[in-house]
Amino acid sequence: MNRDRPTYARLLALPLFFYAALSACSHTPPPLSWEVPADLTARPSASSQSSYLSALEAWTREGARFEDFEGRLFVKATCLSPALEQLRAEFEADRLMLSPQERLERVQISVKRAERHARFLVAIVTQEEVHNDLRLRGGALSATLSSGRGEITEATSITELTLKERLSAQFAFPYLSSLHHAYWVSFPKSERAGQLTLRISGLPASLSLTWHLTPPQNISTP
């Protein structure tokens, strides 16, 4: 017997409800550094997989929205900071068996792209399949980003991954599953004062995910 997505959401509701309650009582994750360490490009890649997967966990948030003990919205999102994108590029370069020069070029391109935008991979499960529709305009769900200063910006680009793209992305984002719809979501570069909060919202359900950041390292010369 096939299990439909609404049934899956209901089955998840009770354990995730208690998980959410426990998470609310847990400590806030430590602040993360947005910038790429200056010497990271030169370090050996022997531990690229473990380093990347550890960083992926640190830069990924998840949340759930319930109504009457029924799960309405489940979201996992990864903030693709320059620091994380550097490690992801190294991880992928190792899997692709790239030469040192190809590896360096891949890393540089990934970091520069991450520095131009605030970009996220967002994976969503909704109780009703029709509500899993994240778009810039006219979708059941929308995405906004706010900083610690209270500035709120709307997404400038939202691209849903095809099935083949999602299967390929699973190598770098193992939490993706066939139950998820996955989206690349980009915002304009803005001041990151203390934290970033991604809000996925719509009439079906809404929730927010927050990343706490260390202050930028401003190096001044006398």
Q: Report how many domains make up the chain.
A: 1
pLDDT band at 39 (very low <50, low <70, confident <90, very high): low
Question: What share of the chain in percent tops pLDDT 90?
Answer: 67
Q: Are 201 and 141 in contact (CB under 8 A)?
A: yes
Instruction: Please report, as a single letter, which amino acid is at residue 211.
Output: W
In a domain, 79, yes or no: yes
In whole angstroms, give the CA distance from residue 148 to residue 216: 13
In a domain, 207, yes or no: no
In a domain, 82, yes or no: yes
In a domain, 60, yes or no: yes
What pLDDT does 215 receive?
Answer: 79
pLDDT band at 23 (very low <50, low <70, confident <90, very high): very low
Query: Phi, psi (5° rounding) for residue 134?
Result: -95, 115
Q: Are 172 and 220 in contact (CB under 8 A)?
A: no
Quick check: 219 pLDDT over 90?
no
Crossing angle (nearest 10°) for helices 82-96 and 48-58:
150
Cα separations in angstroms, 96 against 23, 54, 103, 109, 128: 37, 20, 9, 16, 38
In a domain, 13, yes or no: yes
What pLDDT does 17 receive?
Answer: 42
In whole angstroms, give the CA distance from residue 19 to residue 80: 25
Mean pLDDT score across all residues of the chain: 85
In a domain, 26, yes or no: no
In a domain, 202, yes or no: no
Span 29-49, mean pLDDT?
Answer: 70
Torsion angle, alpha carbons of 104, 110, 112, 117, to 10: -170
What pLDDT does 43 receive?
Answer: 53
Higher pLDDT, 149 or 52: 52
What pLDDT does 97 receive?
Answer: 96
Task: Express each pLDDT in 175-209 by its tens digit.
Answer: 999 999 999 999 998 666 689 999 999 999 999 99
pTM for this predicted structure: 0.83
Q: How far is CA 63 from the centre of its chain?
A: 12
Span 39-54, mean pLDDT?
Answer: 70
In a domain, 110, yes or no: yes
Quick check: 92 pLDDT over 60?
yes
Range of the domain at 125: 5-21+49-133+159-186
What pLDDT does 11 receive?
Answer: 45
In whole angstroms, give the CA distance from residue 210 to residue 205: 17
Quick check: 56 pLDDT over 50?
yes
pLDDT band at 2 (very low <50, low <70, confident <90, very high): very low
Question: What share of the chain in percent tops pLDDT 70?
Answer: 78
Number of neighbours of residue 96 by Cβ within 10 angstroms: 10
What pLDDT does 149 receive?
Answer: 76
